[in-house]
Amino acid sequence: MSVSFWLISPLNAAAQIVEDYFQISYDSVSFNKNEINGSEVFYAAIRGCATCIKDFPLPVPVSEVSITSRIVAEHAVNGTSVTLNPSCTVTIKPFPSKAGDTTEVNQVVPLTFPAQAESGDYNIIGQLIEAKVKITIGWFNVTEYLPQHEPMGSVEYTAPEPTPTSAATAAPTPTPPDTETPASPEHGIAWWVWLIVAIAVATSAVNIIWLLRRRT
């Protein structure tokens, strides 16, 4: 496959790579609960599996992918945005590039509404901070090739009633939900498929840079 083809049509080529080189199973992003009260912690679950069905045709294979995002909630009525998790990282290691290679993502991310959040319905959004891939010669930043915002679903939030005279009590330590059996509301997108497509574009760009450097 020529370098010029990747430069002209990276998205189409990436989509074709996903179809030709990967068998993918995934779940939409799910929350263990959809009705949140006060400062209680709730969790978003990200799950997926990708198997390479034939060798990935790249001169410089990608060994690892790291994607860091912040999770925010946007009020459905007034558009106010609050941060639920300032930084969470999903790592894909090893990245499947040879026939039979399989990788899984099975990650639970804790989320908490801040004290100033208003009651109401919120749309949960992932905002990309940084994405990078690791190849033989080091790490490459590929943030520009991935979607900058991704919807994850929605929840209903109820702010706590003000209690100015009550004594402060220690908040209980949150316990993560059973990662095997979270509630699975049908919210979110085909996150895993989007991720593999984006990585295909990013790895192609990295290989273009590598080839151009070799030629110079």
Q: What is the pLDDT of residues 128-158, one digit of tens each?
A: 899 888 877 788 887 877 778 888 899 999 9
- Judge whether 31 lies within some domain: yes
- Judge whether 68 lies within some domain: yes
Nearest 10 degrees: Cα torsion 98, 192, 104, 21: -20
Number of domains in the chain: 1
Is pTM, for the whole model, over 0.85?
A: no
Residue 203 has a pLDDT of: 59
- Judge whether 166 lies within some domain: no
Residue 10 has a pLDDT of: 47
Residue 74's domain comprises: 7-159+182-215
- Judge whether 1 lies within some domain: no
Query: Which residues, given as ranges, of the chain have pLDDT below 50?
Result: 1-11, 166-167, 179-190
Residue 187 has a pLDDT of: 37
- Judge whether 176 lies within some domain: no
- Judge whether 41 lies within some domain: yes
- Judge whether 86 lies within some domain: yes
- Judge whether 168 lies within some domain: no
The angle subtended at Cα 199 by Cα 111 and Cα 204, nearest 5°, is: 160
What six digits make up the tokens of 159?
């702010």
Contact (CB, 8 A) for 59 and 200:
no
pLDDT in tens, 181-197: 333 333 334 455 555 65
Q: Kindly give the residue spans of alpha helices, DSSP state H, lying in the chain.
A: 3-8, 10-21, 191-215
Neighbours of 145 (CB within 10 A): 21
Contact (CB, 8 A) for 30 and 152:
no
Q: What is the CATH number of the domain that holds 84?
A: 2.60.40.10
